[in-house]
Every structure is written in structure tokens, then in C-alpha cells.
Structure 1
Amino acid sequence: MLALLLALASSLTYGCADFLGGLGSRKAHVLRTVMIAAPASLAVELLLWPFLGASFDARTLTWGAASGAASAAAFAMLYRTLAIGPMNVLSPVTALVSAVLPVGVGLLQGEHLGLTGMLGLPLALVAVVLVSAGQGAGATRPSRTALLLALGAGAAIALQLVFLHQTPADSGVGPLIVGRTVSSAVTLTAAALFRRRLGSEKPAYALSASAGVLDSVANLLFLLAARSGDLAVVAVITALYPAGTVLLARSVLGERLHRGQLVGLGAAAVAVSLLALA
């Protein structure tokens, strides 16, 4: 139950971070947003170090760095995917792949689910697709390039979660610090290389920093959930992060939820209840 609650909190926090990051990216180039968010994220993890501890042995450094590289790759492919579009087709593909791969890894590592878990897991996967899909999902067919990018973004997100799960349980926030350092270095290097394409718009400092802080909190909650429960369950609950984004878009921006998303939110609630009984 603790792992489920932590995963649910992680999912909602990821959704809030994506919402704020998306708003920030409307003000200026997305890399300008990341240039604020990345240091803010790293600062949070460094502040948590004295309270939660951190170790930096070989496994922590290896898997932490791998998760950071996967995070940077996921970021690049995800935003490129959404720029090509159509978002209402590609976003569910990304979310579903990011859930399915960790579930497969967890089951291959010997994790077992009871009857309610076997019912809740596929229902949660359906909820991921419904919640993240936009209206009129069949209106436009994505190009092969866009579809491959969506699959790659989902795989990179999944790998980030799987790599964090492989880190030692007694390493504290060490994996997060290493991963954030690597991903920050990659994204800041990219921003420097493409600085002439970033435009002159100033980033939304408060929104960008808040997105970075929330992303760090979400990573921490996922890590704690993965250390106290099954990766298969934790990953699929975490992949429900679009629910937090669409609910904030509804309450803050006044965006309407279409019928499929409402069904998806209901399916997510049922799935979480079933997994809680597993």
C-alpha cells in the first residue's frame, strides 16, 4: 500500500511538473525553460542530501548516470515528437510504452501479481492511453518519423525508471543527484550549441523553476515507491501522470475534458483500487 501511495503521488507530481513546464515553454524556447528547471531540480536534490543521505559507489554512479542520460534523451525526443504531431495520437503512444516496458522488466525479474493485480494492471494501461489522448485521435495519421520518435521517447522514459530501480536501496538520493547532474549537463550543452536558435524571449523563471522542483520531488517519490514495492505496479501507476496535467489544464486554463478522458480517469481510479488490493 505504501508503494502504491508513493507511486500515485509521484504520478500526480510528474503531471504538475509537466503542466508548469508546458506553460513555461509557451513563454520562450523549451531549452530556455530547461536551463532554469535543471539547476532548480539539482538544487532540491542537493538540499535533500543531508536529510536522506547519499552514497556514490560504482552501482550508484553507473545506474544513476544511465538514468540521467535516458532522461535527457526522453526530453529531446518527447518535445520533438509533440512538435511534429499529432499530439492526440503520439502522446498516448509515448505514455503506453513508458508503462509497458517497466512492467515487462518487473515481471521478468520474478515479480508476481495476485488476481486483483492481474485485473488492475491492464486496466491501468488502458487508462494511461485514454487519459493522455486528445479529442479526435483518428483525425490525422502520424508520419513514420513521428511515430518512431514517440516510441523512442516512451522507451527512454521507461529506461530512466528501470535504471533508477536498479540502484542500491541504501544509496539515498545519490542516484538522483548523479542522474540530474548528467541530464543537466547534456541539456545545458545542447542549449549552448543551439543558442542562436533559442530566440530572444526571456524564460518564465518562476514557472520553470517550479517545474524543476516538482520533477525532482516526483523522481524521489518514484524511487521510494520502487524501493518499497514491485516495479510492475509502481511503473504503471506512475505512467498515469497525464491525469494530473489534464486536471490542471481543466481547472487553471479552462480546457474541457472529452468523454474518453473522463472514462480514462474513472478507469484509473478503479485500477488503483484493484492494485491496492493486490
Structure 2
Amino acid sequence: MIALLLALGSSLAYGCADFLGGMGARKAHVLRTVTVAAPASLAVELLLWPLLGASFSTSALGWGAASGVASAAAFALLYRTLAIGPMNVLSPVTALVSAALPVGVGLLQGEHLGAVGLVGLPLALFAVVLVSAGHGAGSARPSGTALLSAFGAGAAIALQLVFLHQAPAGSGVGPLIVGRTVSSAVVLAAAGLLRRRLGTERPAYVMSAAAGALDSVANVLFLFAARSGDLTVVAVITALYPAGTVLLARGVLAERIHRSQLVGLGAAAVAVSLLAAA
């Protein structure tokens, strides 16, 4: 139950971070937004170090660095996917891959689900697709390049989660600090190389920093959820993050929640209840 609650908190924090990051990216080039969000995210993890502890063994350094590289790749591929579109088709692909791959890893590592879990897990995957699809899913056919980019983004997100899960249980937030340092360095280097293409608009500093801070909170919650529960369950619950984004968009921007998304939210609630009882 603790792992499930932590995973739900991680999902909510990821959804809020995505919403704020998307809003910030409307103000300036997305890379400018991330150059604010990434250091803010690292600062939060450094502040949590004295509270949650951190160790930097060879294993923690290796898995943390790997998660940072995967995180940077996820960022690049995700926004390439957004640029190509149509996102109402590609977003479910990205979300489903990001959930399914950790499930496969967990099962290969010997995790087992009871009868209730065997119903709740596919229902949660189904909910991920519906919640992230939005209006008109399937109305346009994505190109092969777009589909490949969406699969790549989902795989990179999944690898980030899997690498964090592989880090030593006693390493505290050490792998997160290493990973965020690596991904921040990659992002800042990319911004420096592409500075002439980023435009002159100033990023929304507060919104971007808040997105980075929430992303760190989500990472911390996921890490401790994965350490106290099965990766198969934790990864799928975490992948429900589009629900938080959808609900915020409804409350803040008055965006319509479409019928398929309502069904997805209902399916998510049932799936979480089933997994809690598993």
C-alpha cells in the first residue's frame, strides 16, 4: 500500500510538472524553459540530501549516470515527437511504451502478480492510453519517423525509471543527484550550442523552476516506491501521469475533458483499487 501511494504521488507530481513545463514552453523556446527547470530540479534534490541521505558507491554512480543520459534522451525525443505530431495519436504510444517496458523488466526479474493484479495491471495500461489520447485520436496517421520518435521517447522514459530502480536500495537520493547532474549538463551544453536558434524570449522563470522542482519530487517518490514495491505495479501507476495534466488543464485552462479521457480516468481509479487489493 505504501508503494502504491508513493507511486500515485509520483504520477501526480509528474503530471503537474508536465503541465507547468508545457505552459512555460509557450512563453519561450522549450530549451530555455529546461535550462531553468533542470538546475531547479537539481537544487531540490540537493536540499533533500540531508533529509533522505545519499551514498555514491560505484553502482549508485553508474546507475544514476545512466538514468541521467536516459532522461536527457527522453527530453529530446519527446519534444521531437511533439513537434512532428499528431500528438493525440503519438502521446498514447509514448505513455504505453514507458509503462510496458518496466513491467517486462519486473516480470523478467521474477516479480509475480496475483489474480487481482493480473486484472488491474492491463486495465491500468488501458487507462494510460485513454487518458493521454485526447480528442480525435486516430483521426490522422503519423509518419513512420513520428512513430519511431514516440517509441524512442517512451523507451527513454522507461529506461530512466528502470535504471533508477536498479540503483542500490541504501543509496538514498544519490542516484537522483548524479542523474540530474548529468542530464542538466547535457541540457545546458545543448542550449549553449544552439543558443542562436533559441530566440530572444525570456522563459517563465517561476513556472519553469516549479516544473523542475515537481519533477524532482516525482523522481524521489518513484525511487522510494520502487524500493518498497514491485516495479511492475509502480511503473504502471506512475505512467498515469497524463491524468494530472488533463485535470489541471481542465481546472486552469478550462479545457474540455473528452469522453475517452473520462473513461480512462474511471478505468484508472478501478485499476488502482484492484492493484491496492492485490
TM-score by length of 1: 1.00
- What's the counterpart of residue 108 of structure 1? 108
Q: Deviations over 1:26-69 (max 9, x none)?
A: 00000000010001000000111111111000000000000000
Q: Are residue 53 (structure 1) and residue 48 (structure 2) matched? A: no
Deviation at 1:148, TM superposition (A): 0.1
- Aligned pairs for 1:109-258 (under 5 A) are 109-258=109-258
Q: Deviations over 1:187-235 (max 9, x none)?
A: 1100001000000000000000000000000000000000000000000
Question: C-alpha separation between the residues in 2 aligned to 1:124 and 1:70?
Answer: 24
- What's the counterpart of residue 88 of structure 2? 88
How many residue pairs match? The answer is: 278
Runs of at least 5 residues in structure 2 that lack an aligned partner in the other structure: none
- Aligned pairs for 1:1-12 (under 5 A) are 1-12=1-12
Over 3 Å off, 4+ runs: none
For the residue of structure 1 that corresponds to 2:201, the secondary structure is coil
Deviation at 1:169, TM superposition (A): 0.5
Question: C-alpha separation between the residues in 1 aligned to 2:50 and 2:274?
Answer: 37
Question: C-alpha separation between the residues in 1 aligned to 2:52 and 2:67?
Answer: 20
Q: Which amino acid is 2:87 matched to?
A: M
- What's the counterpart of residue 74 of structure 1? 74
Question: C-alpha separation between the residues in 1 aligned to 2:239 and 2:61?
Answer: 25
Q: Which amino acid is 2:51 matched to?
A: F
Question: C-alpha separation between the residues in 2 aligned to 1:48 and 1:140?
Answer: 45
Question: C-alpha separation between the residues in 2 aligned to 1:222 and 1:149?
Answer: 25
Q: Which amino acid is 1:154 matched to?
A: G
Q: CA RMSD in A?
A: 0.4
Deviation at 1:9, TM superposition (A): 0.5
For the residue of structure 2 that corresponds to 1:240, the secondary structure is coil
For the residue of structure 2 that corresponds to 1:200, the secondary structure is coil
Q: Deviations over 1:149-176 (max 9, x none)?
A: 0000000000000000000000011000
Q: Which amino acid is 1:256 matched to?
A: R
TM-score by length of 2: 1.00
Q: Which amino acid is 1:217 matched to?
A: V
Q: Which amino acid is 2:73 matched to?
A: A
For the residue of structure 2 that corresponds to 1:256, the secondary structure is coil
For the residue of structure 1 that corresponds to 2:170, the secondary structure is coil
Runs of at least 5 residues in structure 1 that lack an aligned partner in the other structure: none
Question: C-alpha separation between the residues in 1 aligned to 2:28 and 2:143?
Answer: 27
For the residue of structure 2 that corresponds to 1:107, the secondary structure is helix
Deviation at 1:134, TM superposition (A): 1.8
Question: C-alpha separation between the residues in 2 aligned to 1:267 and 1:134?
Answer: 15
The alignment-based identity, stated in percent, is 83
Question: C-alpha separation between the residues in 1 aligned to 2:187 and 2:116?
Answer: 41
- What's the counterpart of residue 33 of structure 1? 33
- What's the counterpart of residue 17 of structure 1? 17
Question: C-alpha separation between the residues in 1 aligned to 2:48 and 2:251?
Answer: 31
Deviation at 1:113, TM superposition (A): 0.5
Question: C-alpha separation between the residues in 2 aligned to 1:144 and 1:202?
Answer: 34
Q: Which amino acid is 1:249 matched to?
A: A
- What's the counterpart of residue 263 of structure 2? 263
For the residue of structure 1 that corresponds to 2:169, the secondary structure is coil
